[in-house]
Structure 1
Amino acid sequence: MKNIFTTLLLIFVTSTYAQEDAWVYFTDKPNVSASIANPISILSQKAIDRKQNHNIAIDERDVPVSEAYISDLKLQTGITVLAKSKWFNAVHVRGAEIDISALSNLAFVEDIDFANNNLDSDSRTSNQQQIKDVEDETIAFTYGNTENQVEMISADQLHLDDFTGEGITVAVMDSGFPNVNTMGAFERLRANGNLLNGYDFVDRTSEIYDYTSSNHGTKVLSAMAGYVQDNFVGTAPDASYYLFRTEDASSENPVEESYWVEAAERADSLGVDMINTSLGYTTYDNPNYSYSPSDMNGQTAYISKGASIAAEKGILVVVSAGNSGATDWQTVGAPGDSPDVLSIGGVDEDGVYVSFSSQGSSAQVGYQKPDVVARAGNAFVISEFNSVVQNNGTSFSSPIVCGGIASLWQAVPEASPTEVKNYVRQSASQFNTPDHFLGYGIPNLNLARNLFLSVEDNPIESFEFYPNPVISQLNVTFPSNIENVEIVIYNQLGQVVINKVISNNGNALNVSSLASGIYLMKLLGSNKAITVKFIKQ
C-alpha cells in the first residue's frame, strides 16, 4: 500500500509541474531610433516631463516589445504567453520544457531563463540582462485612529503646511481592490478626481474592482489615501493613484513577478512618480522555482531587477520588507532586496521592533536592509466593508511611509528620487547606527524636508562652518559686517538642543554634549538666514 501511495504521489507531483515557466529574451526591437526620436509615440507627456525633470534619458528600454515576435511565439507548439516586458525585451511563457527549449531555434530569441533554475545551463544571476550598479493654508486633520502611525513619521507636520501628496502620482501594485470605487473611505479621493484608472494584469481586464477574492490592496491603499472625517486620515490623502493587480492570491508562481514588471512599465509610461508594493516573493508552490535566502541580493530575482530598472527610470519604489522575521527564512524578500528601492520594516505603536518584520542579512552586500521602519504592529487600515480595522504586517508600514514620502515630495518637488530616498534615510532615528532589524530606524519626514531646505531666501553670504563631521568644536565664520549671529540647532526630532548667540570674534561652538547623529543648524543675523546640516560623531 505504501509503495502504491508513493507511486501515486510521484505521478501527481510530476503531472502538477509538467508545465514549466520561463522568461524568453528577444534579440532586438523594431523602430528603436524612430520611437526615441518621437517619444510621445511610446510614452505619455507626463512620463516625458518626469524624465526631463530628473535628467533621465529615454532609451531603448522605453520602446515596446515586438508584437510580431510575440505573435510568432504564440504560434509555437504548446506555448502560452502570460506577460511581456519592454525593459527586459522579454516575455513570460508557460509550456512543457521541451517546447520552451525549442524556442531557442527561433532567430529572434536571444536567451531562455527557466524559473526552475535546475533547467538552465547557467544560473539566474548569469542572465544576459544586466542591471547598472535612480504662505499656505494650514490643514488641521483630526486623525482619530491613525494619529499614532501618522505622527510616528512626522507626516502630520507636513499636512499642517498643506503638503498632503497633491500632484504626486502613486501606482499601487497589489492583489485586489474591492469596493474602492464605491466605499465612503475613498469618497474624498474620487471627488477630487485622484482615483485614476487601473488594470488587472492577472485576468487581463480593466475592471480592476471586479476581483473580490482578496481585499489586501484596498487595505494597503487606505493607509495612504483613506479619509474618514475625525476618524481616519491616510498619509497622502490628496495624492493620485493608479491601481494595478499583479498578485494572484490563489497560488504562488513566478509569473506574478512578470506581471509586476509589466505593471511597473505601464506606470513608467504613465509618468507615475512612486510605486508602492506590499508584496514579496521568496518561495513558490513548485519548489523548483523557489529562491533561497542567499538569492536575496538584489541581482537574482526577476522582480528585483525590474524594480531596479524602475528606480533607474526615475520612479521611487517603496516595498514592504516582508513578514518572515520569526521564520527560518527571516530575510527581506524580493523586490525589497533591491538596493535601489526603499524597503520598509515594522515596529509597534511604541516604535519597538515587531518580531515578524523581515530582517536584513549578509546577502545584501554593501547596502542596508530594511531601509527604514514604520508601524506594522496592529496598524489601522480600512476593510472593503468600509470598517476601520487593525492588521499586522509590513504590508501596511510600507504604504504608511510611501504616502508620507508623497507628502514630503510635494513639499520639495525639485528633489530627485535619489535625493528623496537619501534624506528619508538620513532623517531616521538610528541613521548612524543601522542594524538588520530597524535599518536606519523610524524616519522623521519633517526633518527630511528641512534637510532639503538647506538654503533659505536670504542666505548669509560667505558663511562657512567646519569640521563636518564634528567631534567637539564647530567653527563658524561669517562676514565681518555682521556683528552677531543667533545659532539654533535642532535634533532629528525637531527639538531645539542649542540656542546661542555668537560674535564675530568668538565663533567656536562647543557641541561635545550632543549625541552622535545628524543635526540642523539655523543661523540668523542682519535679516539674513541660512539652514544647514552637520553630523556629530
Structure 2
Amino acid sequence: MKNYTFFLIFLVSQLVTAQIEDAWIFFADKENVQQSINNPITILTQAALDRKALHNIPIDARDVPVNENYITQIKNQPGITVYSKSKWKNCVYVRGTVNNINTLLDLPFVTDVEFADKSMNFSGIHIPVEDKFAPLTNSRTQFNYGFAANQIEMLAGDYLHQEGYTGSGMLIAVLDSGFPGVDTEAGFAYVRDDGRILGTYDFVERSEILNNNSSHGTRTFSDIGGYIENEFVGTAPDASFYLFKTEDVTSETPVEEAYWVEALERADSLGVHVVNTSLGYRAYDNPAYSHTYEDLDGQTTFSARGANIAFEKGMLLVTSAGNSGSGSFPWIGTPGDSAGMLTIGAVDADGNYASFSSIGPTIDGRVKPDVMAQGASAYVINQNNEIVTNSGTSFSSPITAGAVACLWQARLQYTNAQIMQLVKESAHLFNNPTNLMGYGIPNFQTALDNLLDVENQTLSGFTIYPNPVMEKLYFVFPENGNNQINVTLYNVLGSLVLEETVQASKNFLDLSRLRNGVYILNISTENKTQTLKIVKK
C-alpha cells in the first residue's frame, strides 16, 4: 500500500509539472540604462520627450527596453514560447510546462516567476508595485451631430467643440480587438484622408497590418474619430490616432493583459496623451487564472500595475467599467480598478443607470466607476459604414475619452491628474457618489470653465485649482522651490474659517465642509504672503 501511495503521489507530481501554464518571467537588470537615459531620443520619440518635459515627468530605467539578449535566451529554452514583453515591468510573458517555466529560474538574469494561476505562486512572492500617482488659439466650431447629438450633448461635449477644442494636436491611442473598415469606409475618411491615423499595430499577430477578425474596435473608435457630415460626429474628430490590437478574440487568457501593457508602453514612447481601452479582464478560459474581487485593489493584476505606471508616465487612461452589473459578479473588472484609470460606466439616453453597467466600489473602498456616459443604445459607425446603436460600457468609454482629449487640448500644460480631477468634480454626483454611478455624469462645460479659471490662479510659481472649487483645492508647488506653505482662509466678513500647513507631498485642502460662497485665501511662505479670491460651490 505504501508503494502504491508513493506511486500515486509521484504520478500526480509528474502530471502537475507537465501541464501547460502561463507565466511572467522577471529580469534582474537592463542593458545600457544610464546611456539610454542620457540620450533618450534613442528610446523615445520626440513627441514623447516633449510631453514628458511639459509635465516634468522624469525619464528612468523603466523607459529602457527589455534586454533582447535575455529574450532570445528565454526563447531558446526547451518548451518555452514567448508571447509578450514589458519594459516597464522588465519581464516577458511565456507559456510552457510548469517544469520548463520553473527551470528558467536557473538563468542568472531571471529573478522571479509569476504564474497566471495565482495558487501556484509562493505566498511570499515579490510583486513590484508602483503606486504614484501656452494656451492654444482656437476658432469656434459648429457641428451638426446628427445621430450622435444626445451622447455628446449629455456631457456638454458640444460646448468644447463650440469653443474650438475638437482634439486638434492631441494624440489618442485606441486599444481594442480589430478595426475593419477604418481604412476603407467613408465614416473614417475625415481622419484617414487628413493623415491623422498615425500608425497601427497588432500585438497578437506581431504585425503592422491588423488582423481584423473583430469589428469591436471600429465601433469604439467611431465614437471618438468617426465623422459623417450632418449625420455623425465623434467626440474628438480632429485628434490624431494610433490603433492597437491587443485582444485575441479566439480565447480568454492573461496574455491579453500582457499585450495591453505592452501597447501602453508603445503609446507612451510615441507621445500619446489619451488612451481609450474598451476592454476589461476578470474571467479566463482557465478558471485558475481568473481574478477574484479581492484581486481588484488597483495594484494586484498585471494590467492594473501597468496602468499605474502609464499614469505616472503622464498619459490619461480611459476605460470601460464592464457589463456585468446585472450578473453574479457585478463589480468592475481590471484595469478599471486602477486609481490611474478614469473608469466609465453606462447610462441610457435619459441619463439613468444602465442595468448592465458594472459597479463599485473596489475591494479597498475607492469610488468606481469614476464617471458615466451614454452606453445604452449609443450610436456608432460600424465596419459597413452604417450608423447603428450598440450597448455597453465599451461605448461610454470612448465617448468620454474624446471629450477628455478636447478638454486637455485647452490647457495642455496641466497634468493628467489635474484633468482627471476636473472631470470628476464636474460630475453631477461628485458630492454624493454611489456604487452604481460613481461621481455621475460629467459636465465638460463646467470642467472647461474651471480649467480656464486656473489660468488666473498662479501666484509666484504656485498654481491653485480648481476655482471655483467643490471639495478639494489643489496646490502645484514650484519646482526646486518651497515644499511647504501656510494657508489661511477667511470668509467675506473677515472671520478666519481655516488655518493649515500644506505640504508638497499632500498638496490639497479639503474644503468640503465649507458653506458655498466667496473666500479670501492667504498663502504664506518664508518671505512673502499672497492673497487670492476663492469661490466655493
TM-score, with length taken from structure 1? 0.83
1:328 matched to 2:328? The reply is yes
Alignment of 1:287-298 (within 5 A): 287-298=287-298
- The amino acid that maps onto 2:361 is S
| 8 Å Cα contact 2:131-2:299 kept in structure 1 | no
Asked if the contact 2:425–2:470 (Cα under 8 Å) also holds between the matched residues in 1, the reply is no
Post-superposition Cα deviations, 1:58-111, rounded to whole Å, max 9, x if no partner, equal 000000000000111111110001000000000000000100011011100000
Does 1:88 pair with 2:105? no
Q: Partners of 2:469 and 2:249 in 1: how far apart?
A: 54
Q: 8 Å contact 1:382–1:388 — kept in the other structure? A: yes
Partner of 1:3: none
Amino acid at match of 1:190: R
Is 1:129 aligned to residue 128 of structure 2?
Answer: yes
Q: SS at the partner of 1:454?
A: helix
In structure 2, the partner of 1:393 is: 392
- In the alignment, the residues of structure 1 paired with residue 457 and residue 94 of structure 2 have an alpha-carbon distance, to the nearest angstrom, of 60
Instruction: Report the equivalent of 1:142.
Output: 144
**Partners of 2:85 and 2:93 within 8 A in 1:** yes
TM superposition shift of 1:534: 3.4
Q: Secondary structure at the match of 1:172?
A: strand
**Contact 1:284/1:290 (<8 A) preserved:** yes
Q: Which 10-residue stretch deviates more, 290-299 or 336-345?
A: 290-299
Distance 1:30 1:517, change over 3 A: farther
* CA drift at 1:118: 1.5
The residue correspondences of 1:181-200 to structure 2 (distance < 5 A) are: 181-200=183-202
Instruction: State whether residues 454 and 533 of structure 1, in contact with CA within 8 Å, keep that contact through their aligned partners in structure 2.
Output: no
Report matched runs for 1:253-264 at 5 Å. Answer: 253-264=253-264
Q: 1:360 aligns to what SS in structure 2?
A: coil
1:295 and 1:24 mapped to 2: Cα distance?
20
The sequence identity of aligned pairs, in percent, is: 47
Measured in 2, the distance between the counterparts of 1:89 and 1:64 equals 8
Equivalence for 2:299: 299
| 8 Å contact kept, 1:320–1:343 | yes
Q: Which string of whole-angstrom CA distances, capped at 9 and with x for unpartnered residues, describes residues 146-181 of structure 1? A: 100000000100101111001110111000001101
* CA deviation after TM superposition for structure 1 residue 459, in Å: 11
2:62 aligned partner:
61
Runs (5+) with no aligned partner, structure 2? 1-11, 460-466, 473-489, 495-512, 520-530
C-alpha distance after superposition, 1:83-142 (max 9, x if no partner): 00000000000000100011011100000000011211127xx53322124474321101
Query: Which residue of the other structure, out of 153, 156, 168, is the alignment partner of 1:154?
Result: 156
Per-residue deviation, 1:364: 3.6
| Residue 192 of structure 1: how far off its partner (Å) | 1.9
One of 492, 504, 509 as aligned partner of 1:475: 492
Q: Which residue identity is paired with 1:196? A: L
CA distance in 1, matches of 2:58, 2:439: 31
Kept after mapping to 2: 8 A contact 1:36/1:59? yes
1:259-281 C-alpha deviation (Å, 9 max, x unpaired): 00111101111111111000000
Shift of 1:313: 0.4
Residue 499 of structure 1: aligned partner: none
Structure 1 unaligned residues grouped into runs of 5+ = 1-10, 478-514, 522-529
Q: Relative to 1, partners in 2 of residues 1:364 and 1:230: Cα closer, same or farther, differing over 3 Å?
A: farther
Secondary structure of 1:107 counterpart: coil
Counterpart of 1:403 in structure 2: which amino acid?
G
| 2:229 aligned partner | 229
Note if 1:443 corresponds to 2:445. no
In the superposition, the TM-score normalised over structure 2's length comes to 0.83
Shift of 1:45: 0.7
Shift of 1:215: 0.3
Which structure 2 residues correspond to residues 378-457 of structure 1 after superposition, within 5 A? 378-454=377-453
How many angstroms apart in 1 are the aligned matches of 2:517 and 2:47?
Answer: 36
Distance in structure 1 (CA, Å) of the matches to 2:357 and 2:469: 38
Q: Which amino acid aligns with 1:311?
A: F
Counterpart of 2:453 in 1: which secondary structure?
coil
Q: Assess if the C-alpha contact under 8 Å between 1:142 and 1:230 holds in 2.
A: yes
Taking the aligned partners of 1:190 and 1:350, their CA distance within structure 2 comes to 33
Q: Structure 1: how far apart are the matches of 2:428 and 2:33?
A: 47
Corresponding residue of 2:317: 317
Count matched residues.
469
Q: CA deviation at 1:423?
A: 0.4
Secondary structure, aligned partner of 1:453:
helix
Alpha-carbon displacement from aligned partner over 1:195-242 (angstroms, at most 9, x marks no partner): 11110000111002xx23210000000000000111100000001110
The code of the aligned residue for 1:411 comes to A
> For residue 193 of structure 1, what is the amino acid of its counterpart?
G
**Conserved 8 A contact 2:75-2:82:** yes
- What value does the CA root-mean-square deviation take over the aligned residues? 2.9
**Corresponding residue of 1:47:** 48
1: CA distance, partners of 2:369 / 2:517: 23
Q: Does the Cα contact within 8 Å between 1:279 and 1:319 map onto a contact in 2? A: yes
Specify the alignment match of 2:370 in structure 1. 371
Separation of aligned partners in 1, 2:357 and 2:518: 31
Deviation at 1:299, TM superposition (A): 1.1
Report how far residue 18 of structure 1 moved. 3.0
Question: What are the residue-to-residue correspondences of 1:99-118 with 2, within 5 Å?
Answer: 99-118=100-119
Cα separation, 2, equivalents of 1:118 and 1:149: 43
